[in-house]
Structures are given as structure tokens and as C-alpha cells.
Structure 1
């Protein structure tokens, strides 16, 4: 653009540097990523423009975005017509474009300023005292400006400059939070699509493998070792299917959704016995089940089993080798409680804060030889909460690590089927050890 006079060397250098920034594709992409260009007014930004005008006692404040073609007024206080209606200014008439190097424009008397006095918008806009602060994103790109204008000479105080800088930071906080939310939504959609495609593609060969194993058992089941081999392969395929389902459920949990349940009347004690017996084939003589007999619930039996499997296998993997792992079932009032207790190195206090987050693995788990995806504990919490229950954990060198699941005797998740009649419950008996 043409200035109305000859700029000094410093001012000329500034215009040239900012002009190069004007069409920087990375900067322009950052502006597009905000999703704010050419959008309606929003109270979140209008409020800050009004507040600045009130605190500084100025007649005009503007929040702008500056791309390669125009300056767009996202919010303002006191903007005159026709700009209040059009909400934009051609880039050649923009003063704010000269902050694109990250430098502010601050003047108490623009007509006497060696740079501002030659800018063609100074006179028509009645610009005398002005503060223009760049809106800089975390990557260092200038998206636009926050400015206030006074039509008379005014010496800006340090307090007024501090107010403008703090409010500029608030504008960028709003923009950055919106960007993060948009990115998270995009990542969530991509993750959901990836998980759905991956699990579908994995299940197809697993189904084919199961059919092949079943056919082998029917045709050659009488041969020595065939049935045992078929059983081992089938167990491995079943485990692979459970891992796929874990991935799907963990994706739901991370997206803030509840895992789906299929509830029925079931015996928590019988489920625990079966799950621990199967785990004992991998971790022999590790589990001690303490219970007072049948513990009837209206719940998802598969979900209960997966809670026990994840907690018990984690305890076996990461607890002190060779030490017993206690699995305690009890009832208190209208709730059932499951506790899984192991000895060994305690979980650090800072790790306990994030231990139930999907794909999070504690330092001890990462440093150990045990492999894992960090899905087990998030799924435990997901199933507990889907039943209307909760999970807690305590860990110390003296008492060991204890995961506690508390569940209602009848699942209370709002997504479940209509309530069913509760089964009859006998009186609670004192826990006794009977499985090791």
C-alpha cells in the first residue's frame, strides 16, 4: 500500500518484514484453523471488547483477524458505520497488518508518530492515541490484533497497557481452547474410524480361523493330541477376540461414552470362581478367593468377568512374584464389593491420578518386561460406572495395592433395560478362604 509520505529506514523495514508475513501459508492456515473468519458476532469476544472500552474509557475497541486480503472485525465496541455493518477492511487500508512480526503499535499521538502519521487510515479513522497488540498463537503466528483508539492525545499509563495485554491473553486463551476442542474432536473421529476398521478387519480372519479349527476337530478329533491342540488354539482365538472387544470398549470410554451392558440375574461369586480358575492355568497358585457364598446381582456377567480378569491378571503381572493375590467378595447393604489385593512395589502417588486413563501405563508397568496396551484399568472403571458403581485404588509398601469395585446389587445405569425384580438374598456370611 502507499503511505502518504516517505518512511524512515526503521519504519520501511518494518513494513517490508510484515508484508512478507502477510501471505505466509502457515499463518493463513492458522487463521483458517480458528474457524473465526467471516463468522457472526459472539458474546465471548464482544464482552472483552466492551470491558476494555469500559476500563480504559475509550470510545473504540476492536478484535480483528488479518489474512492476506482483509482485516475482519470479529468483535468491537463503538465501531462506526459502514464498518460496523460490513465488519471488514481491505488489507491495503489495514494498519493492523503491521503487527505481523509480533511487534505492537503503541502511540499517544499518531499524527506526530514517524510511522503512523503517513498511514492513510490515521486521519479518516480519527486515530490519535492508539494501542494495537498482536494476537499470537502458540506456534508464533500473528492471527490478528486487539486494539483501542482514542481520538485525542493521550499518554497511556502502565496500568492501561497491562490491562490491554491481559485481555489480549484472554482472547488468545479463548481461541486456543476452541482450537484444542476442534482438534480433539477430529482426533476422536479419526480414532473411532480407525478402531472400527481395525477391529472389523481383525475379526474376519479370526472367524475364519475358528471355523477351520472346528472343522479340524470334527474330521480328525480321534487322532492323538488333536483335541488338546484345538482347545489351545480356540482359547487363543477367544483371547484375541476379547482383546479386540477391549479396544472397542476402551475407545468408547475415552470418547466419554458408557460401555454397553447386557444385564441378567447372575452370581458374582460363581463368575469369580470360573475367571480365577482359568487365570490359574497361566498364574498357578497365586489367587486366593475369599467370599461368603453366592452373591446374586442383576448385572452384565461378561462385564463382571472382565473386571475380575483385568484386575487379577494385572495383580499377577505387576505384583511381587510368588506372593498370594487376594480376591475378596462381600456385600454391604444394597451394594456388592470386589477387592483385589497384591503385594509388591507400591504405585506412586502421581501415577494414581491417571491410572484409569485409556492407554496410560504406569512407570513400573512400562519399565517391566510385561507387555500391555494400558486398556485394562480404563475398562474396569468403564464397566463399574456403566453398572452405576465405582472403582478406587490405594497403594502402599505396607498394605500393598488394593483395587476396590463397588457395585449396586441391581445395575442402575440409565442406558440399561427396564428394571427387573431383584433376586432374593440371604444373610451375608463372614468371608472364608477356600480357593488357592
Structure 2
């Protein structure tokens, strides 16, 4: 970049420092990470450019990105032709490149400024008074600038500077939020890939182990104790396989995807009764089922079992020991309702807001002897919502803790409409 004269030592030092920053690989990568270079204008940024022009009463405001070769105008108010059409400026003609060390350029009279008067773009652009503020990301890299230009001498007030600084901060808030969303999406994709690979790799040896154990059981069926051992090992392998499925389902829930369901005609009363009967082997004389009427619906039977099993076993594990757990079924014209209520220490109000989130565990669950991943209630909500229903919870000392699941009579109809 050739100036129209010899710079003073301070100005020369500034240009040299900024020139070194121009091709910094980390800075250039930070610009690429924004995804803003060579993209169309966006109202989110143009709005701030218009606002700056209105508040400061200036004819030209520009938001730019500055890479190693050019200055790209992402947003503007009053940008003249041909720049409004090309939206770029060769780097040798860029004044904004001299903010890359994080220093602003502020002048009330550029033709009288010892540095600015020698820059070849000052005259052709009609730059007299200007405020140029660097756009600095959280890692300290200067991505570009936000500037306002006045074609006449103007003493900038403190209010003018404050407005520009606040609007610059707003631009960076938008840029940083977009970067965070991009990173979260990348992390989510990586997590989904990892979970899929992990579960695939785990299921293969589990299946092989289960087949081997069952084969040994058949070969040595006459040996005392073999069948009992086979049953224990098989049950443990089944539990491990269910944990893998829970992890897969939780990953789908976090990604906002509906859970996979196999719809069929079934009876919620029969499914609930059978599930509670099986749980009674572990928690004897705890469950009291109340149901009157017809509870036939179209739903995923395994999903219904998982809902009942998670809610009932949680109530048994974390409710007051020895107290009855009330399980109630009700039916309306278009939906059925399942309620599971237990007595005991109520769930804190602040925890009720996040109790259905994956990997969340309440304080009582964390302090109890029962260990878990905090996936059960997330799966309950995911299954309910995948059926087109919902899951809610209330908790207080007087009435206990009550989880309520509402499901449509024909969940497949809702899934067809949302597909």
C-alpha cells in the first residue's frame, strides 16, 4: 500500500503492525468461520447500519469484513455505485485494514489528519469525518469494521461514539451467536455419529454373547444351576441392550427428531397392568391401578410399556418407602390419560422446569442409592410427544408428585399430519 507521502514514525509503525495481521492464518480462519464472506445482504446487519445513519445523521455507514485480499461490504446505508453492486474493495485501497491491531480510527477532519490525509482513498471517497471501529471476536481477532462517514468536518460527540460502540457490540453479538449455533450443530452431528458408531459396535458383541450363553444353556441343560445362571446373564445383556437403545433415543430427542414407533391396535389398560405386574416382582405391594372404561387405542406397545415402566419404577425408587403408588387411567373423547402419583419429598420448583431434559437428575435422585443416566423421564416425554401427546408433572408436599401423560386415541394420524 503506497501512501501519498511519507508517514510519521507512529503512523508507519501502525501500518506495519496491521500489515502483519492481514494474512494471519488464525484471523483468516475466524473470518471464514463466520460464514459471512461473499454472502447477500441481511436485514439483521442492514438494520444496524440504518440505525447508525439515523442516530448520527450521517449519509454513509458500512459493516465490512477484511481478509488478506479485499474488504467485503456485508451491510451498508448509502453505499454509492459501483461499490453497492460489487460489494468489494481491493485491499490496497482499504482504510479499514489499519484497525487490525484493534485500534479504532476516529477523526473529525481527515484531510488535516497526518495519517489519513496521505491515504489515497480519502479524497475519492469524500471522507472528511469518520468513525471506524474494529469488529473483534472473543479470541481477539479483528474480523472487519463498522464505520460511519461524514463528507464534512464534524466534531464527534461522546454520544456519537457511544452509539457506534453499542451498535458495533450488537453486530458482534449477532456474529458470535451464529458462531455458537454453528459449533453446537457441529458438536451435535459429531455426537450423533459417535453414538451411532458406539451403539453399533456395542450391540454386535452383546448379540454374540447372548447367543453363546443361550447355546451353552441348551448344551448343558442337565447341569444343576446352569439355567439360573443363563437367565441372569441373559437378563443383564438385555438390560445393557436397553441402555444402548435409551442412549440412541436420547440422542434423537436432543436432535429434535421423533422417536421411531411401530403402531398397532392395543389396550393401554392391559399394557399398564402387565407392566406393573412385572415390576411388582421388584417392588411388591406398591402399585394401585385404577381404571374404568375402554382404553383401546392405536399406539406403539413397546413405547407404552417404557412410559409406564419408567414412571412407575421412578416412583418406587424415589417416593416415600412403603407408601402406595397410585396409577390411574382416564379416557376422554379423543385421548387417554395416564397418571402416576407417589408420596414423599416434593421435587423443587426450579427442578420441575428441566426434569424432562436428557441427563438431568433431580437432587433426590442424585443423593439416592439408585444410579442412572437421567434418561428415563426424557424418554417418557419423547415417547409421549412422538405419539402426539405430552408429559407434565406437578409436585407438592400435600398431594405428592404426579406425572401425567396424555395420548391421542390414534397416534398414527398425528404422525401422518406432521410427516
Distance 1:301 1:149, change over 3 A: same
More deviation in 12-21 or 146-155? 12-21
Matched position secondary structure for 1:146: strand
Deviations 1:203-251 (A, max 9, x none): 1112112211222232222332222222222222222222222122211
More deviation in 91-100 or 243-252? 91-100
2:267 matched to 1:273?
A: no
2:336 matched to 1:342?
A: no
Structure 1 residue 11, shift from structure 2 partner: 4.0
Matched position secondary structure for 1:72: strand
2:119 matched to 1:119?
A: yes
Partners of 2:90 and 2:264 in 1: CA distance: 67
Which blocks of at least 5 consecutive residues in structure 1 are unaligned?
A: 418-436
Matched position secondary structure for 1:414: helix
CA RMSD of aligned residues (A): 2.6
2:78 matched to 1:88?
A: no
2:36 matched to 1:53?
A: no
8 Å CA contact retained: 1:270, 1:294: no
2:347 matched to 1:329?
A: no
Count residues with an aligned counterpart: 418
Structure 1 residue 20, shift from structure 2 partner: 4.1
8 Å CA contact retained: 2:272, 2:308: yes
Deviations 1:159-199 (A, max 9, x none): 43333333323322332232223222222221221121111
8 Å CA contact retained: 2:297, 2:410: yes
Partner of 1:400: 400
Matched position secondary structure for 2:415: coil
Matched position secondary structure for 1:147: strand
Deviations 1:282-307 (A, max 9, x none): 33443333333763222111111001
Matched position secondary structure for 1:259: coil
Partner of 2:68: 68
Structure 1 residue 330, shift from structure 2 partner: 2.4
Partner of 1:172: 172
Structure 1 residue 134, shift from structure 2 partner: 1.7
Partner of 2:185: 185
Structure 1 residue 393, shift from structure 2 partner: 0.7
Partners of 1:88 and 1:416 in 2: CA distance: 49
Partner of 2:264: 264
2:250 matched to 1:250?
A: yes
Distance 1:203 1:402, change over 3 A: same
Partners of 1:279 and 1:111 in 2: CA distance: 85
Partners of 1:9 and 1:281 in 2: CA distance: 87
Which blocks of at least 5 consecutive residues in structure 2 are unaligned?
A: none
Partners of 1:288 and 1:13 in 2: CA distance: 82
Distance 1:204 1:121, change over 3 A: same
Structure 1 residue 367, shift from structure 2 partner: 4.1
Distance 1:278 1:20, change over 3 A: farther
Partners of 1:365 and 1:6 in 2: CA distance: 73
Partners of 1:373 and 1:13 in 2: CA distance: 58
Partner of 1:421: none
8 Å CA contact retained: 1:15, 1:98: yes
Matched position secondary structure for 2:380: helix
8 Å CA contact retained: 2:70, 2:88: yes
Partner of 1:381: 381
Deviations 1:28-80 (A, max 9, x none): 22111011112233343334334433443322221111123322212223333
Partner of 1:299: 299
Matched position secondary structure for 1:134: strand
8 Å CA contact retained: 1:341, 1:403: yes
Higher RCO (CA < 8 A, seq sep 6+)? 1
